[in-house]
Structure 1
Amino acid sequence: MDTSPPSFARDLAAAMDWWRDAGVDHDFSDDVTVWLDDADQAPAKSKPEPAQASDSERDRAQNTEKDGAASHPASRADLIGESPPATLEDFRKFWLEAPGLDGVGPRGRIVPRGPAEADLMILVVDPEETDRTSLLSGPQGQLLSNMLTAMGAEEENTYVASALPRHTPMADTAAIAGTGMDAVTALHIQLAAPKRVIALGKDILPLIGHDRAQDITSLRKINHETANMPLMVSEGLDNMMSMPRLKARFWRRWIEWSATW
């Protein structure tokens, strides 16, 4: 048996195999390197002359600009109006009937569920895709139900609501909040008057008056004129379903947050 010390070549080969098994098989540097040609010798590329647009193409471009402006309103609207809902029951009616809360209209909206002045309010960005008559009636709702059981929270005494009235995939929540939906969410929370609020989904931040880039672990309260409610923000139920490690992260935050009551 060869008992001689390993050579440098064998050490180097073993090190390269280790990094390759770890998934690192490229060399990276902070400096830009030209690999394929010499920038000094590369022929200058001439810019093509802009093509002249036809009348029909110009008309289509103008219509596209108009449609884009219509779908991204520049000014903030007063979605609540001069006679805002005064009770939670009034708000639910407003939620179903007010014309400006989304671009589709009142039909098909999903109302929140649960009692006023609940021990806990769960606020998500939007309903599930399969919701028809009850909010979070699909897999996300089942996950939430399991979470509430583990947390020792009674589902019957939990107010479950969404910041948007219908399922809205890839919602630009910053733009939607800018139309006045953040004020609607604030009124909703105020009328529900829960003791504590858990907001699920990082994209929910603009709808509760915070910047989307803010660290969600630093948010501890929702401030209202009448009261400051304890707040916890965590990842959305859909993300927890696809990435189980987020469930453990939520649980750690819950334990830390609930210990401060």
Structure 2
Amino acid sequence: MDTPPPSFARDLDAAMDWWRDAGVDLDFADDVTVWLSEESGGPTGAASGTAQKSHAKPDPAAPAENEQHSATAAARADLLGDSLPVTLEEFHKFWLEAPGLDTVGPRGRIPPRGTARAALMVLVVGPEETDRTLLLSGPQGQLLAKIFTAMGVDEDNTYVASALTRHTPMADTVAIAASGMDAVTALHIKLAAPKRLIALGTDILPLIGHDRAQDIMSLRKINHEGASIPLMVSEGLDSMMSMPRLKARFWRRWMEWSAE
């Protein structure tokens, strides 16, 4: 007895199950697209005719979350204090000595490197894990040096800084920015006074005064107290190292931005 050939819907179901088992459920492009969304039923549900609409239920934890955000906002501190640094040299001293910039304290902080009014400032979320005295002294720094070379940028005419004083895995940059660190970053950029600024890492957005959900392609300038600096935001150096295609994306953005 001949076995009837499998239907297209069955083939599609099997293919999607294979990708799901492999842990692949997203199509990575400039905008992430969810392939197997439970809310929409996904292609599998559509093909088999068994898609069901998901009805979101109110989250009982939402009020607590809102209260937490309110508490975070209320906990905002004046990290700059009364003795506001007025030069980049004073800021470097403040960065290494001020007690409230992180939960650990001054010991072990990594300073920025470079000079004021550089042609290009690169701002990352935080130092590398292996940094001890020099910012980005490991693989990420090696990648950045290669990027400078490809750009034709003299590294001696750059300023490299981090928005956090030390390596902080899984940093909650929204809460850290709300605690007052965004004001510290804004002053740092003002005193460094670069001609152009590249901010690396999508989690860096709250620390430079933007919503984390904002489209990084739409950010072109950073404004502070009347000063406007051309801005480019891209994925972090660590992401570029793990996903080489992001290097190509960064390069396209750089070519477009530097031509403006």
Band the TM-score falls in, shorter-chain normalisation: 0.7 to 0.9
Question: Does structure 1 retain, via aligned residues, the 8 Å contact 2:73–2:178?
Answer: no
Instruction: Give the letter aligned to residue 221 of structure 1.
Output: K
SS in 1 for 2:85: coil
Note if 1:103 corresponds to 2:103.
yes
Distance 1:123 1:30 in 2: 46
1:66-77 residue pairs with structure 2 within 5 A?
A: 74-77=74-77
Structure 1: state its 5+ residue gaps: 1-6, 34-67
Aligned sequence identity (%): 71
Correspondence for 1:31 among 29, 36, 52: 52
Residue 251 of structure 2 aligns with which residue?
Answer: 251
* Cα deviation, residue 24, structure 1: 5.5
Residue 91 of structure 2 aligns with which residue?
Answer: 91
Residue 165 of structure 1 aligns with which residue?
Answer: 165
Residue 234 of structure 2 aligns with which residue?
Answer: 234
SS in 2 for 1:241: helix
Distance 1:97 1:135 in 2: 17
* Cα deviation, residue 75, structure 1: 1.9
Residue 193 of structure 1 aligns with which residue?
Answer: 193
Question: Does structure 1 retain, via aligned residues, the 8 Å contact 2:12–2:44?
Answer: no
Q: Tell me the TM-score normalized by structure 2.
A: 0.77
Distance 1:125 1:231 in 2: 15
1:40-51 residue pairs with structure 2 within 5 A?
A: none
Instruction: Give the letter aligned to residue 154 of structure 2.
Output: E
SS in 2 for 1:148: helix
Residue 58 of structure 2 aligns with which residue?
Answer: none
Structure 2: state its 5+ residue gaps: 21-42, 55-67
Alpha-carbon deviations, 1:181-205, whole Å to 9, x = none? 0000000000000000000000000
* Cα deviation, residue 223, structure 1: 0.3
Distance 2:147 2:141 in 1: 10
Distance 1:255 1:19 in 2: 42
Note if 1:134 corresponds to 2:134.
yes
SS in 2 for 1:185: helix
Distance 2:19 2:236 in 1: 31
* Shift in alpha-carbon separation, 1:21–1:27, aligned structure 2, 3 A: closer
SS in 1 for 2:130: coil
Structure with higher Rg: it is 1
Distance 1:8 1:197 in 2: 65
Distance 1:136 1:24 in 2: 37
* Cα deviation, residue 74, structure 1: 3.7
Aligned-CA RMSD value:
2.5
Q: Tell me the TM-score normalized by structure 1.
A: 0.77
Distance 1:237 1:137 in 2: 13
SS in 2 for 1:253: helix
Distance 2:232 2:4 in 1: 55
Question: Does structure 1 retain, via aligned residues, the 8 Å contact 2:88–2:191?
Answer: yes
* Cα deviation, residue 227, structure 1: 1.6
* Cα deviation, residue 20, structure 1: 3.9
Alpha-carbon deviations, 1:190-229, whole Å to 9, x = none? 0000000000000000000000010111000000224210
